Amino acid sequence: MMRSWLAGVLAVLLAGCGGSNSYTGPSGDIPFDPLRPTPGEPAVVSPYTGSDPLVLEAQSRLSTGADLQRKVVLRTCGPTNGVCHNQKEYPDLHTAGTFAAAINAPCNVQAGSYEGVYDRCERLGDRFKFKEQSFREIEIGWYAVVLGAYVEYPDNSVPPSDAAGFHLHLREPVPLAQGRAHWGTGTFIRNFINAQGNVEALSFASYNTRWWVLDDGRHLFGEVHDYQRDAVDALLSVGILQGDQNRNGVFGAREGKAVPLLNPGKPEESYLVARMRGHMQGEPIPGSRMPLANQPPSIPDMLALMCFIEGLDPNAAQWNLSSAIDYARCSYIANPQALSLVGTGVTWRGRVQPILQSSCGGCHGGASPQGGLDLLSANAWTRLRQASAQNANLKLIDSGRPETSYLWLKLSGDGSILGGRMPVDPLNGTRTLPPEQLADIEAWILAGALEDG
């Protein structure tokens, strides 16, 4: 009964939507194309039928983009989601919606510090010109406000390059004399798309003050008198785009190599992947590696991420997280092992030993090392293979297993340890290593805690 009723409705719907390609009405032919895309319908994907257990695990546990977000991305966000949306340094990925929005989105996430911005995440800067001068607009590299009491510099002086006030660094020198002040209205210009769909340059902010040309002519200093502070606050609040946000002289977007967070079809040029690996195509990425202190992604996790990105259609306007990830046609199934993040680049001599020496050696070294543990000695690596003094059941380092490595438990503040979390801060009794150092030590243990390599 129910079935035939449904079948009837479907038949009516199908008759109404599909079928003929044109409708012939009483007044002649009306061209009409009824074949519309059906939004939200997952693409049909043939499953992987090979025998690689890593691919099979990925396919069964992480079959869609939504699984990937929920089981991998969200997990790496940390217990309180802190990494994913409390810290400015990371893109917000804690919901399926924000994850989908990361596809093709600029990677210029608000950085904790300017050095953390990657050149290929820089956007085109706004442009600057003096209203009163005829020379052309120049792209803005970066700006900074140096705080401090107002100092009146004479008109014919050269203020120091760190003078309190507004500093603007441009891509090219301005053709104005150095060594004297120029009264002028600095205007900030950006391209907008107007209602007609045309690009239009608009000056969206300005600052009228005395300016000096410093250094090589690309550095402008605008004085900020007490009565001008509000004007500068207003200027900063509009959000001037800086073409060289990390201040290293490279204007990332100019080079035409800007990359999005998730680059549809191009996992190797996705900023998110690069941040997990610590490099993009061999070039180091500034900032700490993601995810921080949590479980590093496994090979199937990485396979899901890479195959998901590779399968995204670069020409689509939006992407559906409920579509199946196409493992069968994914190029990464040829060598999933190569996707392992564990231990990449972390060596005992290159990374772990220097951390232990500098953060721990003050107490764990010398004639009577604390806790009976000498981390400065030439035998430190051998010593770490042995049992802990505090818990004779555990080795200090158990190759491949952070969870049974007593040194790791002391560093991560595990509830089972005796004494305090390491390193002890003599001032307030507690301190932790920075998350990227913890992540590297954990990765080194997971990769076998080798002495070299």
Q: In this structure, what are the phi and psi dihedrals at residue 221, rounded to the nearest 5 degrees?
A: -115, 125
Assess 424 for contact with ligand HEC (CB under 6 A). Answer: yes
Applying CB under 6 A, among 94, 169, 275, 364 the residue interacting with ligand HEC is 364
Q: Write the interaction track for ligand HEC spanning residues 278-307; mark x where CB under 6 A is met and - where it is not.
A: ------------------------------
What's the angle, vertex CA 37, arms to CA 34 and CA 41, rounded to 5? 130
Task: Number of residues interacting with ligand HEC: please give it, by CB under 6 A.
Answer: 25
Q: Which stretch binds ligand HEC (CB under 6 A): 98-106, 245-253, 341-349, 370-378?
A: 370-378
The correct pick among 50, 400, 413, 420 for binding ligand HEC (CB under 6 A) is: 420
Contact (Cβ atoms closer than 8 angstroms) between residue 85 and residue 92: yes
Burial label, 125 (beta-carbon count in 10 A; 0-12, 13-18, 19+): buried
Cα of 180 vs its chain's centroid, Å: 42
Residues numbered 100-159 forming contacts with ligand HEC, rule: CB under 6 A: none
CA distance 411 to 154: 56
DSSP 230-295: HHHHHHHHT----TTTT-SS--TTTTT---BSB-TT-GGG-HHHHHHHTEETTEE-SSPPSS-SS-
Q: Which position among 390, 401, 404, 450 is part of the footprint of ligand HEC (CB under 6 A)?
A: 390
In Å, what is the CA distance from 182 to each residue of 148, 157, 166?
22, 11, 14
Three-point CA angle 403, 446, 383, nearest 5°: 75
Q: 139 vs 374, which CB is nearer to ligand HEC?
A: 374
N-terminal to C-terminal alpha carbon distance within the chain: 70
Residue nearest to ligand HEC (CB): 419
Q: Which stretch binds ligand HEC (CB under 6 A): 48-56, 125-133, 305-313, 403-411?
A: 403-411
Whose CA is closest to 175, among 124, 220, 145, 224? 220
Q: Is 345 in the site for ligand HEC (CB under 6 A)?
A: no
Does the protein bind ligand HEC through residue 411 (CB under 6 A)? Answer: yes
- Annotate each residue in 304-343 with x if it binds ligand HEC (CB under 6 A) or - if it does not, as one string: ----------------------------------------
Q: With b meaning 16 or more CB within 10 Å and e meaning fewer, what string describes 207-236?
A: bebbbbbbeeebbbbbbbeeebeebbeebe
For ligand HEC, give the closer residue by CB, 104 or 390. Answer: 390
Nearer to ligand HEC, 163 or 443 (CB): 443
CA distances from 244 to 108, 111, 158, 176 (A): 11, 13, 25, 22
* Minimum CB distance to ligand HEC smaller for 15 or for 389: 389
User: From the CB of 430, what's the least distance to ligand HEC, in Å?
Assistant: 10
Contact pick of 182, 406, 412, 440 for ligand HEC (by CB under 6 A)? 406
362 forms part of the interface with ligand HEC (CB under 6 A) = yes
Structure letter (DSSP) for residue 30: E
Q: Please identify, among the stretches 30-38, 172-180, 260-268, 357-365, the one whose residues bind ligand HEC according to the rule CB under 6 A.
A: 357-365
Question: Does 388 interact with ligand HEC (rule: CB under 6 A)?
Answer: yes
Which one of 357, 370, 377, 399 is in contact with ligand HEC (CB under 6 A)? Answer: 370
189 versus 360: smaller Cβ distance to ligand HEC: 360
Choose the stretch contacting ligand HEC; rule: CB under 6 A; options: 127-135, 315-323, 397-405, 421-429: 421-429
Helix and strand tally (H, E) in the chain? 12, 10
Rounded to whole angstroms, how far apart are CA atoms 305 and 327? 11
Interface positions with ligand HEC (CB under 6 A): 356, 359-360, 362-364, 370-373, 388-390, 396, 406-407, 410-411, 419-420, 422-424, 426, 433
